[in-house]
Structure formats: C-alpha cells, structure tokens
Amino acid sequence: MLEGVQQQEVNLREQMTQLQHETEQRNVEQRWVDVPALLFTLLNYGRIWFCMGLFLLLFWNMEQSQQMNQHHDSSNAEDSFSSEEEAAGAEQKEEEQEKQVEQVEKVEQEKKVEQEKQVEQEKQVEQVEQVEKAQGRPSRCQLVEELMSDLLLACRFVWSNSFYPTLRSAIGVGSAFEGWSPREEDTVYCLLVPVEAPRGHIFHLELYDEEDELAMNPRVRVELRCMCEREQQLGDVLCFLHHSVEDLIENQDPSLLQTLCTDVYLDVEKTVTWFRVQVATIWNTTLQADAYNLKVLPSKRSCKLQLTNISSGEKILVELLFGVQQGNSDIFLSSQNTEASFTPSTTWPQSCAVAEMKYFQYLLEKAGENSVIQSCLRFLAHTLVGMGFSTYVIKTLIFHLVNIIPLGNWQRRNFLSRLESILRYLHFCLKYKRLVHFFIGNKMMPDEVILPHSFRTATPVNLFQHLEDDPDAESRVLRDFRVLRDRLLKLLLFGR
C-alpha cells in the first residue's frame, strides 16, 4: 500500500509539472477556460493526501497498540513475579509467626513450670513453718525473749538471798519488737527489765517538783523498812532499822543503799555496772550457754550484749534497759539515755516504750494484715539515717495521724499517700514549731494501754519547744526536712 501511494504521488507530481508546463504555453484567454479542470485535479490531490493521513493515523494506532500490549504483557509478568514474591514472603512470615508462637508457648510453659515449682516451694516452706511452729521453733524476737528469760531467771536464782534489786521478766520494746526495724542485720533487740526493790527496801518515785509539774530529772529514792516481823517468823533476815551497824556488818550483806545508791537515790550507772560484771558468769550456768557465746559490750546506762550462735556464727545484739514501774501503769522510770548532753547518774527518765509497744499492737490489730503503718515507719527510719530527726518524732507523727486519718486508709494501696501525709504533717509541725507528746495529756487512750492518772490530766508537752528557743536549731531542722524530702523522692523514683 505504501508503494502504491508513493507511485501515485510521483504520478501526481509528474502531472503537476506537466500541467504547469502546459499552462505556461497557453494564452491568457485560455486560463479561465481550464480553471474547473485545475480545481478538479487539486481536489483529487487533497483526497489523496487525506487518505494518506488516515493511513498514517491507522499505522500509528497499530504501533501504539502493539507497544501497549507488550507493556501489558511485561507488567503482567512483573505482577505475577511480585505476587509470587509476596506469596513467598507471606509464607516466610507465617513460618516466623509460627516459630514465635512456638517460642511464646515454650516460654509460657517454662513460666508455668516455674510457677508450679514456686508454688511447690511455697507449700514446702509453709509446711516447714507449720512443722517448726508445731515443734515450738521461735522467731527472732521470740528467740531473744527466751534467751533473756533464761538469763534473768538465772540472775534471780543467784541473787535471791541478796539485797540487790529483783529483776522481773523482760519486755520487748522498740522497732524490732514493733516490726519496723529498717535492716535485719543491724537490728538491736531492746528489752526493758522491770526492777523491784529487794526485801527490807522501798522505792519512792520522785516525779514532780515543788510546782506539781513533771520533774526534769526524775529519781528513785530508796528507803529502808522494818523487817522485824519477818525476822521473827522466818529468821532469814535482820531488820536494818532495829539492829546495830556492827551486827549487820557481821551477819548480813550490805543493804541496797550501801551498794547501788548515791546518797539515798538508786544510781543508774552503778546498777548497770553491777549487772555487767556478773552477767557473763551467770550466763555460763544457763542451758543456752552451750548454743550461744555471750560477750558484754561497753555501755554506761544500759547493758549491751552480743550473742553468737556457736554452730552458725550468727550474731544477735541485745540491749537491756532497767526500769522502775510507775504504779500499775505502762510507764516506767528507765535507765535510757536522754537528749541532754549530761544526764546525772541518779536520773531515771520517764519512758513510754511499753505503752508505745502496746498501742502499736493495738493499731495493727485494728488495721489488719494489709496495714502500711509498719512499712511507713520502716521506710522513714531507713531514710532518716544520719539526720537530725529521730524515729520517735516520726512515730509520734504517725500516732497522731492515725487519729486523724481512718485506719481503712492505711492499706497497701495508700502507701504513697500516707508517706505524703506524714511529710506534710511534719512540715506543718515544723512551721508552727509544735508537736504534742502523744501520751502526756491524752485522755482518749484505749483500755489496752494503762496510763497514770497524772498523764491523762497533765498539760500537753511540746516536743518542738526547743525550736522556739533556738533559731539555729530551727534552721537546721528545716534543712534536714528538705534533705529528707529529697531522699524520699530519690528512693521512690530510683530505689536508692
């Protein structure tokens, strides 16, 4: 077809040249006569070009369609290849997911096995504890109480015929027996040993001054009493009041006034020294001497003992305080140290340690097993190491807060809230320089805690009174409060 069109084009060109040559030879008159023929020829020429344009357009369309078909075929091939790749990738993903599921199942099975082992171990521990309880194996506090009970029983036997003070059963006090000691390895088990006057003697507690207020330095005055009736009935003692000095020196041991007193007052340091000198020898007579070695540590107003288990090497630190009971109450005049730089040896400060222990047990029983009272005290006691605040201040704060915040809000879920409450209350007390003693002047004490009548009716004592008198102390305490707050935040956020 192309060749035919080209041949027609050549013929047309020849015809056109021929026509041009003929037209040049004709005359001017003949031009008007040949115009229709010329127009007809031009019309035929336009038709030819139109046909050629249509043919070229068809040819171009065919070319484009072929290219599109090729592109479509290639795209189909690519799509088929990509689909194959996707299918392969999906298979790999499925395999990986299956492997992950298998691994997760293995981990879950291992966890289940570990949990079952833990449950079995817990059951075994519970069984062991039940067996130990059934066999009467004591806890750490019970062990200390038993050891000291044996020691004091031997002391009473050795000094039964003397005129030294009579030592009664020790009472566990302080953080260890209240259950909030910060670290077990550093725990000091503190016990208060009630002291009673020996035969032929009477203790008089000098608690008030001339203005009927609590004395700054309470003392225990020792007096002799008539023993003539006992002398006549039993004959085991001579009356200190109605026998001559020579007769008493020859036939009877010295009285308490001559051994452990300064003037007529019972001396703390002499009493502690007397006990410390003889306790190691008496310990060797007890049944526990074969299991524990006893070492006496230096101390002035208490007796500090170190008991070492012979088989395991485990050490237990014990501090014995001596106290004279105030009537039938839970308040004692004790040998404990005071905050003063110098404490006279005849001073026996009032101690609420037994009352605090009983009130603490009362709170724990009412609050239940999930109570955070002990946890708050333990956490704060650990944070207060090396600071100016005493654990006694924090415990007093908590006692006051328990009367403000119901015990139902002292559960485990409220731990952080209660720590915040304690800090806020401490800041409030420091701001106004006032923290009232919990037992003195408290008329709302439960029956479980026995306080003297004078305690209930006394004017409340401000434990922060020294902040009003000493501005430097106030600035130090406020600085310690900021340090305490920062320490608590670090412990809560970073665990250190």
- Tens-digit pLDDT profile for residues 263-312: 999 999 999 999 999 999 999 999 999 999 999 999 999 999 999 999 99
Position 108 scores a pLDDT of 61
Q: What are the angstrom distances between the C-alpha of 6 and each of 2, 49, 488?
A: 6, 11, 104
The stretches in the chain having pLDDT less than 70 are: 1, 4-5, 20, 23-51, 55, 65-138, 183-185, 209-215, 341, 386, 495-496
- Write down the domain spans for the chain: 2-72, 101-137, 352-496
Evaluate whether 48 touches 12 at the Cβ level (below 8 Å): yes
Position 60 scores a pLDDT of 74
Ordered strands of the 261-262 beta sheet? 201-208, 214-224, 265-266, 261-262
Please list, in sequence order, all residues whose beta carbon lies within 8 angstroms of the beta carbon of residue 294, skipping any fewer than 6 positions away. Answer: 279, 280, 283, 305, 306, 307
Evaluate whether 373 touches 398 at the Cβ level (below 8 Å): yes
Looking at domain 352-496, which CATH architecture does it have? Orthogonal Bundle (1.10)
| Alpha carbon 469 to chain centroid, angstroms | 35
Evaluate whether 335 touches 302 at the Cβ level (below 8 Å): yes
Output the six-digit token pair for 365: 């029983």
Output the six-digit token pair for 230: 């006992």
Position 139 scores a pLDDT of 83
β-pairing, 261-262 vs 265-266, is antiparallel
- Torsion angles phi and psi, residue 401, rounded to 5: -65, -30
Neighbouring C-beta atoms of residue 155, cutoff 10 Å: 21
The CA distance from 15 to 5, in Å, is: 15
**Per-residue pLDDT reduced to its tens digit, 112-161:** 654 554 444 444 434 434 433 433 334 889 999 999 999 999 999 999 88
Position 339 scores a pLDDT of 72
Evaluate whether 238 touches 251 at the Cβ level (below 8 Å): yes
Most distant CA pair in the chain, distance: 194
β-pairing, 261-262 vs 214-224, is unpaired
